[in-house]
Amino acid sequence: MDLDHARVCDCSLCRKRGALNHRVEEADLRLLTPLDDMTLYQWNTRTARDYFCPRCGILPFRRPRTAPTLWTVNVRCLDGVDLDAIAIRRVEGSILSVIAPAAQ
C-alpha cells in the first residue's frame, strides 16, 4: 500500500476510537480474516459498515458512508508501520455528521 498519509477525523466515533484512517480501493485490500468472521456495526442510514474483531473489539477497517465503494483501514492495526513517519490529514467529520442528515 502507498501509505503516504493517514486521516484523523474529528467526529465523535473516530475521535473516541483514536483511529488513524487510510482509504484504499477494494482491489488494494487483502483480508486475512473473512468478513463473515467479523462483527458488523451499522447505524443511521446504514451506509457505513464498521467491522470489528469479535474477540478483541478492535475496528481494523470499515466502509465509510461518504465513500462506500472504498475501504478505510485503521493504520494503527497494521504491523510494521512507523506511525510517527506518516503525514496526518485532518478531516472535519463532525461537520459532515451535522450537515448530512439535513441534506438527505
Which whole number is the average pLDDT over 89-97? 77
pLDDT of residue 96: 58
pLDDT of residue 93: 77
pLDDT of residue 14: 84
pLDDT of residue 104: 43
Tell me, what CATH number does 57's domain have?
A: 2.170.150.70
Q: In this model, does residue 100 exceed pLDDT 70?
A: no
- Identify the domain containing residue 51 by its residue range: 5-103
Which pLDDT tens digit goes with each residue over 28-79? 999 999 999 999 999 889 999 999 999 999 999 999 988 999 999 999 999 9
HEC sequence for 46-103: CCCEEEECCCCCCCCEEECCCCCCCEEEEHHHCCCCCHHHCEEEEECHHHHHHHHHHH
Which whole number is the average pLDDT over 5-13? 90
Overall number of domains in the chain = 1
